[in-house]
Structure 1
């Protein structure tokens, strides 16, 4: 995990990051969101799409109003429904009249390891995109890429005209994603990484952290990192049975204490995947090799 950079951050400012793409940083920094959620505006002049509108805070909504100006909003698109990503969709739709398009609704009674992992219970899309479906506007086309794993309803959006991929929380350059069972699924996450590894996207724009300029290299490293974690778990359980929480200090040296719950959830996701593959077994809350 990369350290959060020192302030000032460009919170609330519309940044032109390529000809068709602007970025507005929301004021919700945390150990899990880096400097905050990045909302992307795709398109210029005749009509735009707003990707991951973010939290429904008054100052962020005002910043989006200013960034959009008088431009027609063709769609408000959400990668998934964690509440640092989608709550601003409803008020922005009321302000602009635009449809909410993208991931399917998902609500679970799952507190998760952090407050930001809670699901947006008010998310109600006008159109759900299946894998490969497109949303189009003046001079731009966004294709949905189904990437379950972080959550089951996660989508990325590929911008056909520039080769950019908006990766939400699936791939970020500053940190790996938290996988929180029961909805978060490590096997799905690994398959989704392999899907991206086979693509030829030019650049990734994640919802948190800097753009990824060598995407396939990063994804290859992330797959290797997760395989290393698997091997580490199997080795530790071969030495002695453990609870998931007991594995965390042995696997994550120097971990920020605020991230302990998230690390335990990802370890648990690995354990469930290894159990399905017959490599580990559990008795109550205790895990051991099969």
Structure 2
């Protein structure tokens, strides 16, 4: 997908609603769109920060300018890809806030997300479980466990306004990359169903525009993933069993630089189908189960 025309609001604190401001980090890429969007929660003297973003001095300075003179009490990370959590440590050093959010997770920087591997510096003071809450004056954030994109992924619900901060789990500009071994398609689909059952008013993803019809989008995403599964089964039925050959047939028009990520999503689907006994694997070759 093409990026929108510049200028982008990089470094500016945008007021989205009374309790929510957004600051865009200067890290655009094919995987991050115009960059990581850090959210500042609260309107009083105590604030929370969601997805502090990359450890970039300009971004951290922009966050501090937006925060002062208030005090940050919680730094929340949806997951530990390096475009989301590395600024947590320097922001904690500047503000004294606790880091509270997803569990730490570090894997080797392999596969299509080699540009954004897991953050080895992430050290939470408090790991939140599903349903656990953080509170400040006038705001309450509830952790919503949404594994799939990564096994440690959390969303955060702002109870006072009906907003859900979806990290990389749901984005309007692109589908999320589900990349094994940590990315899990069965878990991702279950997490989508979980969000579809909720009644959140608006989604604020970590990349791209806000989503004003969230249940409609999630319903479409579930349908899209099921369509991908049907495409895979059709190709397997025709004797096409190698992922590298499936990618250009399933993702026509996709930038070749993104083919490895598409291949990982196909692999995630195949692993889920294998777990259900629908397909079998022989090395790099996949086939329908007899």
Q: Compute the TM-score of the two structures, normalised by the length of structure 2.
A: 0.98
Gaps of 5+ in 2: none
> How big is each residue's C-alpha offset from its partner over 1:122-178, in whole Å with a ceiling of 9 and x where there is no partner?
100000000000000111000000000000000000000000000000000010000
Partner in structure 2 of residue 147 of structure 1: 146
Q: Secondary structure at the match of 1:167?
A: strand
- State the shift of 1:241 in Å: 3.6
- Structure 2 CA distance, aligned partners of 1:107 and 1:224? 31
Task: Give the aligned partner of residue 92 of structure 2.
Answer: 93
Superposition deviation, residue 110 in structure 1:
4.2
Contact 2:240 2:246 in 1 (8 A): no
- Cα distance in 1 for partners of 2:286, 2:14 equals 48
Distance in structure 2 (CA, Å) of the matches to 1:14 and 1:23: 5
Instruction: Give the match for residue 180 of structure 2.
Output: 181
In 1, Cα distance between the equivalents of 2:204 and 2:19?
13
The alpha carbon displacement at 1:70 in A equals 1.5
* C-alpha distance in structure 1 between counterparts of 2:115 and 2:162, whole Å: 30
The worse-fitting range, judged by mean Cα deviation, of 111-120 and 178-187 is 111-120
**Contact 1:248 1:263 (C-alpha < 8 Å) held by counterparts:** yes
After TM superposition, the structure 1 = structure 2 runs for residues 39-54 of structure 1, keeping only pairs within 5 Å, are 39-54=38-53
Instruction: Give, in angstroms, the shift of residue 117 of structure 1.
Output: 3.4
Report deviation, 1:109: 1.8
Q: How far is the alpha carbon of 1:191 from its aligned partner? A: 0.0
Measure, in 2, the Cα distance between the counterparts of 1:201 and 1:4: 27
Q: How many residues align?
A: 289
Aligned residue runs from structure 1 range 61-100, under 5 A: 61-100=60-99
Match of 1:120 in 2: 119
* Partners of 1:112 and 1:127 in 2: CA distance: 30
Residue aligning to 1:129: 128
SS at match of 1:227: helix
The CA deviation string for residues 209-257 of structure 1, in whole angstroms up to 9 with x for no partner, is: 0000000000000000000000000000000142111110110001111
Q: Aligned residue for 1:261?
A: 260
In 2, distance between residues paired with 1:128 and 1:26?
Answer: 25
Contact 2:36 2:207 in 1 (8 A): yes
Aligned to 2:27: 28
Is 1:13 matched with 2:12? yes
Inter-partner Cα distance in structure 2 for 1:282 and 1:255: 26
Would you say the 8 A contact 1:76–1:99 is kept in 2? yes
The whole-number CA distance in structure 2 between the counterparts of 1:110 and 1:191 is: 26
* Matched residue, 1:207: 206
Please provide the CA RMSD for this pair.
Answer: 0.8
1:198 maps to 197
TM superposition shift of 1:45 = 2.4
Secondary structure of 1:16's aligned partner: strand
